Amino acid sequence: MICVKSEEEIALLRAPNAIVRDCLKFVGERIRAGMTTKDVDTLVHDFITASGAVPSCLGYCGYPASACVSVNEEVVHGIPGDRVLAEGDIVSVDLCAYRNGFHGDAARTFCIGKVSEEKQRLVRVTEECFFRAIEGLKAGTPLFDIGYKVQQYAESNGFSVIRSYTGHGIGREMHEDPSVPNFGRKGTGVRLQAGTVLCIEPMIAAGSWRVRVLDDGWTAVTVDGRPAAHYENAVVIREDGVEILTL
Ligand code: MF3
Ligand code: CO
């Protein structure tokens, strides 16, 4: 069941989402070659707690960190650890914060130093997939138009869309209905109502969309070992468009 938010609830959602936005900016200004993924997690943990919020990922279904830090062939849910970031890597940082009784959630993919043309294009196209998806999105839009637009744009650029992870609703829970796939048929799915809050999060692979989960139980990697990128924002569906909470 999709929980449509009141204006009061949307007002409460602004703080955790603004903390996530600011934290991603903070990380983007500091992430560099030589840091471990655990160092990135420490930046995130300390920023969120210093902001008076709780890192929602920490302990979620047993997840052991405050951020998901996924490098190159890692698609999502990379557990921070000893992996050292190197020039040429692309690193997706996905994080959630809880405050006011509500969650915020967003992700960015950062380039470490100079990265290959293909990775640069992958990161750019993944971001552009999000902006394509919100073009014309407003109350009354069929849910799967979002995925349709992401898939069209990703595939027209020669990339593929991850199938086994999706966007989601967000609110008092980090993951609420509906599931928001990054693929779909135009004109299908429920018509979104004003006040619905969604995390739209294209996860795009340079090669095949097939993924597997490592023995750590979390880290999703591409089966072909080629890179993937991730970009996510939380948005409110309005009568005449969307309001982005994490930009
Ligand atoms: N931030 C992720 C999302 O976009 C959720 C990560 S769950 C975790 O939905 F436990 F892996 F952190
Ligand atoms: Co999310």
pLDDT digits (tens, 9 = 90+) for 60-109: 999 999 999 999 999 999 999 999 999 999 999 999 999 999 999 999 99
Q: How far is CA 238 from the centre of its chain?
A: 21
Residue 219 sits in which domain range?
7-244
Residue 2 is assigned to a structural domain of this protein: no
Give the ligand 1 atom nearest the CA of 175. Answer: 9
At 198 the pLDDT is 98
Residue 1 domain flag: no
- CATH code, 137: 3.90.230.10
* 157 within a domain of the structure (yes/no): yes
- Predicted confidence at residue 202, as pLDDT, reads 99
pTM above the 0.95 mark? yes
What interhelical angle do 7-30 and 37-50 show, nearest 10? 140
| Angle made by CA atoms 122, 126, 128, in degrees to the nearest 5 | 115
pLDDT band at 28 (very low <50, low <70, confident <90, very high): very high
d(CA 107, CA 165): 14
Distance between Cα 149 and ligand 1 center (Å): 23
Centroid of ligand 2 to alpha carbon of 68 (angstroms) = 11
How many structural domains is the chain composed of? Answer: 1
% pLDDT > 70, the chain:
100
175 domain-assigned: yes
Distance 175 CA to ligand 1 centre (A): 9
Whether residue 165 lies inside any domain: the answer is yes
Residues 186-221 pLDDT 10s:
999 999 999 999 999 999 999 999 999 999 999 999
**Residue 150 corresponds to which amino acid?**
V
Residue 73 inside a domain? The answer is yes
